[in-house]
């Protein structure tokens, strides 16, 4: 797909979209603070915050020790006291030490203080596999957090959504976990409108319209699902692909409207199947739209193994593929 910049937009990849949005936020609001491992002098491992420390100073671009609980804990305090911290967990695989700060503290502050305090905190983290990242640079973590009320989770897949949703996450008065699929960082390019704009959290986007099957996905797999759906289009099979964009709040309306139309639902995600996002979507559709379903709901997800291995065959075994997705879609359309 050729993407060309126009008068009012610029072509970027996902990593550039993150960088541009963070830069704007730092520029436009003095309360914005970035903190994390290597975000300062090193300019982040993907060079997202390169040169930020020179321009905004080390009081606003803070290099932290390798201590994730502290990164989030400090950011929670900053947020409660009026700053707009954007905390970075260098890889989602390292988020576990901060679990208590996110789940036990950040997500509960509004409730605990009866609305007196909020926690306008963004936690950004790269996640996902397909980059030979092995056990500690490949994991998907969304299912560990989506059970938690008080926490919003966003997982954009296209550069324009990255910008609009990151802006919305920064504006949001409550904590938002912002997930960036690292394989899409430089793989996915697209036009990004110039200037400040937001995309509402909790709104999905129909990336491809279709009539015979609804596919819900996000992250890298969304792109593969779109590719698979395009292949099926050439076989005259019509698949609708919904980009979930926000994992929580979940856009029930978009999913239900689509399923009412297509009567079939396939959920595709890289995270493990058991207890994953797909389980929640399945349950919701079974509760709300059973009598629209013309086939069993299916999930094509990561296998229930602890991680993808370093060896390429092991990673490939874990990851799905556009071909496998096309097969699953074809079987469901023809069911």
Name the segment binding another protein (CB under 8 A); options: 195-203, 213-221, 266-274, 289-297. 289-297
| Both structure tokens of 30 | 């003095």
Q: Distance between CA 153 and CA 99 in Å, rounded?
A: 14
Report d(CA 87, CA 102) in Å as an integer.
Answer: 11
Total chain residues near another protein (CB under 8 A): 9
Q: 333, 240 in Cβ contact below 8 A?
A: no
Read off φ and ψ for residue 170, nearest 5 degrees: -65, -40
CA angle at residue 123 from 117 to 127, to 5 degrees?
Answer: 155
Report the nearest approach of another protein to the CB of residue 331 (Å).
Answer: 8
- Residue positions counted in the chain: 335
Distance in Å, CB of 294 to another protein, minimum: 4
Q: Is 292 in the site for another protein (CB under 8 A)?
A: yes
Residue with tokens 């954009």: 156
Both tokens of 13, joined, read 């990849």
Residue number with CB closer to another protein (118 or 292): 292
We find the least distance from the C-beta atom of residue 135 to another protein, in angstroms, to be 40
The window from 98-106, 194-202, 216-224, 293-301 that contacts another protein (CB under 8 A) reads: 293-301
Which of 65, 82, 236, 291 binds another protein (CB under 8 A)? It is 291
Q: How many CB atoms lie within 10 A of CB 261?
A: 15
Q: Give 205's strand partners.
A: 243
Question: Can residue 334 be called a binding residue for another protein (CB under 8 A)?
Answer: yes
Instruction: Considering the complex, state which of residue 248 and residue 264 has its C-beta at the smaller distance from another protein.
Output: 264
Q: Is 190 helix (H, G, I), strand (E, B) or coil?
A: strand
Q: Which is nearer to another protein, 55 or 294 (CB)?
A: 294
Q: Does 263 bind another protein (CB under 8 A)?
A: yes
293 belongs to the binding site for another protein (CB under 8 A) = yes
Question: Do strands 213-217 and 189-193 pair parallel, antiparallel, or not at all (unpaired)?
Answer: unpaired
Among 114, 234, 290, 313, binds another protein (CB under 8 A): 290
Whether residue 137 lies in the annotated active site? yes
Q: What three-state secondary structure class fits 215?
A: strand
**CB closer to another protein out of 7 and 290:** 290
Tell me 303's DSSP state.
Answer: -
Report, in Å, the least distance between residue 285 CB and another protein. Answer: 11
User: Which residue, 10 or 295, has its beta carbon nearer to another protein?
Assistant: 295
Is residue 235 involved in binding another protein (CB under 8 A)? no
Tokens of 219: 């992250």
Residues near another protein (CB under 8 A): 263, 290-295, 334-335
Q: Which residues are catalytic?
A: 137
């Amino acid at each position: 797909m050729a993407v060309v910049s126009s008068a009012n937009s610029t072509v970027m990849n996902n990593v550039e979209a993150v960088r541009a949005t963070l830069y704007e936020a730092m520029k436009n609001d003095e309360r914005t603070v970035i903190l994390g491992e290597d975000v300062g002098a090193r300019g982040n491992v993907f060079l997202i915050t390169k040169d930020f420390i020179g321009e905004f100073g080390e009081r606003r671009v803070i290099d932290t020790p390798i201590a994730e609980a502290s990164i989030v804990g400090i950011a929670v305090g900053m947020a409660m006291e009026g700053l707009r911290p954007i905390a970075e967990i260098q890889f989602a695989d390292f988020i576990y030490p901060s679990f208590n700060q996110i789940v036990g503290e950040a997500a509960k502050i509004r409730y605990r203080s009866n609305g007196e305090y909020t926690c306008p905190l963004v936690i950004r983290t790269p996640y996902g596999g397909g980059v030979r990242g092995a056990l500690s640079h490949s994991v998907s973590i969304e299912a560990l957090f989506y059970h938690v009320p008080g926490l919003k989770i966003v997982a954009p897949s296209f550069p324009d959504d990255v910008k609009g949703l990151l802006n919305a996450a920064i504006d949001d008065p409550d904590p938002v976990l912002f997930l960036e699929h690292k394989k899409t960082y430089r793989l996915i390019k697209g036009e990004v409108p110039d200037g400040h704009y937001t995309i509402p959290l909790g709104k999905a986007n129909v990336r491809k319209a279709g009539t015979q099957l609804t596919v819900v996905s996000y992250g890298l797999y969304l792109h593969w699902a779109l590719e698979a759906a395009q292949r099926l289009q050439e076989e005259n099979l019509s698949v609708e692909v919904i980009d979930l964009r926000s994992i929580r709040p979940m856009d029930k309306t978009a999913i239900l409207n689509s399923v009412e139309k297509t009567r079939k639902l396939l959920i595709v995600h890289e995270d493990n199947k058991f207890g994953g996002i797909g389980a929640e979507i399945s349950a919701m559709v079974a509760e709300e739209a059973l009598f629209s379903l013309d086939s069993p709901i299916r999930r094509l997800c990561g296998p229930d193994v602890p991680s993808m291995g370093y060896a390429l065959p092991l990673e490939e075994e874990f990851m799905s593929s556009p071909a496998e997705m096309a097969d699953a879609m074809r079987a469901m359309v023809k069911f």
